[in-house]
Amino acid sequence: MYQDLAEYYDEIYSYKDYAAEAGKVIALIKSNLKTGGNKLLDAACGTGKHIGYFKQHYDVTGVDISDKMLGLAKERYPDVQFHQADMMNMKLGRDFDVLVCLFSSIAHLKTYKNLNKALKNFSRHLKKGGVLIIEPFIEPDKYIAGALFADMVNRPELKITRMNISKRKKDIATLDFHWLIGTPKNISYYRDRHEVGLFDIEKFKKLMAEAGFDAAFLKDGLLKDRGLFLGIKN
């Protein structure tokens, strides 16, 4: 989805209220940040839809592994610095006051080993007293296999149906999306499969602590059932 279907990403997630989400994240930053600085890194920023709101308050940099997603973000905000990198081993050569990683992007790391690498790398990119906010995917106990999902776009010149049945193998969820994309020229079928990690909250917090954060999990997050991890670099 983040490469060949990147141009449809914002369409399929048009139900998301990025303004409200960014507002909640900014309020959380304001009540926790003690560095006095304003440099914010959006890790796995995708097409950059939170960035428009963050940049009204912070000096923002975006990172993503997908050149296609970044291309769309750059088009949207030519004044923002973007880097193509893997959040596990990015080396931006400077530190930030705030690092956010939103909309379950962290789950793409799949394993605790990779999560550990990313958290340590996030820590290396943050100043002491800096704020880390991560929106995870669903907890292992709450993820239900065998549920049917559908998202639709219904505009005059673009129709999309994306369906999947949730699957899991232990603590890896498979999101096996079937897409039908219609324009007045053509109707195409695509299959787009992602394996994502179902991370336990206590294990996640333990890894955050080991990476140098005072860690908390806030149940009331941006989307239902996801929550937010909040870390303060110690």
Ligand X SMILES: C[S@@+](CC[C@H](N)C(=O)[O-])C[C@H]1O[C@@H](n2cnc3c(N)ncnc32)[C@H](O)[C@@H]1O
Rg for the chain, CA atoms, rounded: 18
In angstroms, what is the minimal distance from the CB of 102 to ligand X? 4
The residue with tokens 């673009």 is 158
| Count of residues engaged in binding ligand X, rule: CB under 6 A | 18
Q: Is 86 a residue that touches ligand X (CB under 6 A)? A: yes
Residue 230 class from Cβ within 10 Å (0-12 exposed, 13-18 middle, 19+ buried)? Answer: buried
Q: Is 51 a residue that touches ligand X (CB under 6 A)? A: no
Choosing from 12, 87, 99, 160, the residue that interacts with ligand X (CB under 6 A) is 87
In angstroms, what is the minimal distance from the CB of 51 to ligand X? 9
Choosing from 24, 76, 108, 127, the residue that interacts with ligand X (CB under 6 A) is 108
Q: Is 69 a residue that touches ligand X (CB under 6 A)? A: yes
In angstroms, what is the minimal distance from the CB of 184 to ligand X? 28
Q: Is 173 a residue that touches ligand X (CB under 6 A)? A: no
Choosing from 5, 41, 44, 138, the residue that interacts with ligand X (CB under 6 A) is 44
Are residues 78 and 48 in contact, defined by beta-carbon separation less than 8 angstroms? Answer: no
The b-or-e profile of 15-52 (16+ CB within 10 A means b, else e) is: eeebeebbebbbebbeebbebebebbbbbbbbbbbbbe
Are residues 69 and 89 in contact, defined by beta-carbon separation less than 8 angstroms? Answer: no
Separation in Å, CA 144 to CA 65, 158, 171, 175 = 28, 31, 11, 12
In angstroms, what is the minimal distance from the CB of 230 to ligand X? 17
Q: Is 110 a residue that touches ligand X (CB under 6 A)? A: no
Segment contacting ligand X (CB under 6 A): 98-106, 141-149, 168-176, 197-205? 98-106
- Give every CB contact of residue 195 below 8 A, 6+ residues apart in sequence: 110, 172, 173, 174, 175
- Contact residues for ligand X (CB under 6 A)? 2, 44-46, 49-50, 64-66, 69, 86-88, 102-105, 108
